[in-house]
Amino acid sequence: MLAIRPATALRLIGQKGWGWLLGIGLVALAMAITILLVPGLGVVAALSFTSLALIALGVSSVLISLRLRRIHERIEEHNERQP
């Protein structure tokens, strides 16, 4: 619930990326219900969710670094053109 409600608020104001936050909230809610109903399976779900989150963090870090490098190159090109 801590991610679902803010996601709906972001959607209402037209902010991009609200779907990712909603998806994370729904997965976390499903994992919480799984832990309550089947604790053994809940451990596997928690490990899987953590693994996927860390992989997503790594991929997003690489994508952000590539975008920042492109921005840096554009700034450098702009500065070189200035007299």
Q: What is the DSSP string of 17-39?
A: THHHHHHHHHHHHHHHHHHHH-H
Residue 77 per-residue DSSP state: H
pLDDT digits (tens, 9 = 90+) for 26-55: 888 888 888 888 888 878 878 888 898 899
Banded pLDDT at 1 (limits 50, 70, 90): low
Is 0.75 surpassed by the pTM of this model? no
Q: How far is CA 68 from CA 15, 53, 75, in A?
A: 21, 22, 10
pLDDT value of position 2: 72
Using a 10 angstrom Cβ sphere, with 0-12 exposed, 13-18 middle and 19 or more buried, the burial of residue 42 is middle
d(CA 77, CA 57): 30
Banded pLDDT at 75 (limits 50, 70, 90): very high
Tell me: pLDDT of 17 over 90: no
